[in-house]
Amino acid sequence: MSKLQDLPPIQMFLPDETVEMVKKYGTDFPDNFALEQEMTILFSDMRGFTEMAESFKPHDVYASINASIAIQTRAVHTHGGSVNKFLGDGLLACFSGNNKSERALACMLDLLTALPAREGELLPCQVGFGLHCGHVLFGLLGDTQRREFTVIGDVANTAARLCGVAKPFQALVTADVAFDIPTRLRDQHCRYLCPRTFKGKKQPINIYEITVAGF
């Protein structure tokens, strides 16, 4: 994989999947263009962002968020994922292909070590994470004025829900992710927590927590 400084400028601003789609199809996409794919989806979100934004100068808030996002982006790319979009104080990342959940786990283990170690250097950036895997629709949204490729469906929604209830520096994953990981790694790094029913979902979701150290 190319280093960031080696990439053509436009590729620094677009997700890998978008670049590949444009290379393959050009810009002549039908309005309903969408691809079905198996993915592991990662959401991150900062805890206490509203209070931080209210209490500190915008440039200090920006510097802190950017430092956190840079660490996350680097880890995602290191483990073969793609940052689909930045979400203010967090991001949405996609892992596809062979060993997608194992690579997502490795990414999380790096982040759960790196981010707390940087805490205190700038403003607090206590991030929570949610991961789910399964069948997604990777589709084109928008019109001729503004378009983007993004993941659509229950997998992304569930990952976002998990992220929403994760504590600072906690990564929550579904059983689908936990059992998409080799048994040795699951036994070492995935601790079962509880079932939880989210609003709008009919069935409870079995939730696991990723732990850096074995237990």
- Provide the whole-model pTM: 0.85
Is the distance from CB of 48 to CB of 126 less than 8 angstroms? Answer: yes
Domains and CATH numbers, the chain: 33-210 (3.30.70.1230)
Query: pLDDT digit string (tens) for 20-76?
Result: 666 666 666 666 777 788 999 999 998 877 787 888 888 888 888 888 999 999 999
Alpha helices in the chain, H assignment, sequence order: 16-25, 49-55, 58-78, 100-118, 154-165, 175-178, 183-189
Q: Collapsing DSSP states into helix, strand and coil, what is residue 205?
A: strand
Q: Collapsing DSSP states into helix, strand and coil, what is residue 102?
A: helix
Query: pLDDT digit string (tens) for 78-126?
Result: 999 999 999 888 999 999 999 999 999 999 999 999 999 887 677 677 8
What is the percentage of the chain residues whose pLDDT exceeds 70?
Answer: 83
Question: Roughly how many angstroms between the first and final C-alpha of the chain, as a whole number?
Answer: 34
Query: pLDDT digit string (tens) for 141-179?
Result: 777 777 777 888 899 999 999 999 999 999 999 999 999
